[in-house]
Amino acid sequence: MLKGVKAVVDLGIAPGGWSQVVRRKVPQSAVVGIDLLPTDPIDGVTILQMDFMNDDAPDRLKEALGGDADLVLSDMAANTVGHQQTDHLRTMALVEAGLLFATEVLRPGGTYVAKVLAGGADNQLVAEMKRHFATVKHAKPPASRKDSSEWYVIAQGFKGRESDKGSGWAGPAEGP
């Protein structure tokens, strides 16, 4: 996944593990991260402390990156309220927002990786990802606790921006 990667955006960077791995494996890459929580500085990583859902956040990330990305990582999760369905829906809204951002910033061939909860991405979201990426898979890393509801959806082979193709795609459908 990191082969040939030159520019990475880390959504939900705190505490910084993914960005540290990227910097270790691909030290020449540009990495920009964002999180509501304070994050200790990471050598070679630009960190924005702000809400990704803020209207200015996508433009600030693009500006800090200085061009298109090869990889968008999203470890964002909504603050939980203890109601599993509500927590899942709130986190999936962040995954959808991350997907929209990825379609705006990725280079053709790029990858979007997002944390999802309790069973992974729903069929509608997977279908949307398949429209924009060559492959979409779910994975549970070995480091994840067996009892954890965390999974990751990996969308590889970004097909390019729809606006570049002239269809005028406006992003994922709004929820109810």
Cα–Cα distance list, 125 to 86, 88, 129 (Å): 17, 13, 6
Choosing from 25, 62, 115, 140, the catalytic residue is 115
Which stretches of the chain are DSSP H helices? 17-25, 57-65, 84-105, 123-132, 162-165
Active site residue 115: yes
13: Cβ–Cβ under 8 A, 6 or more apart, which residues?
19, 33, 34, 35, 39, 45, 47, 75
Residues designated as active site:
115
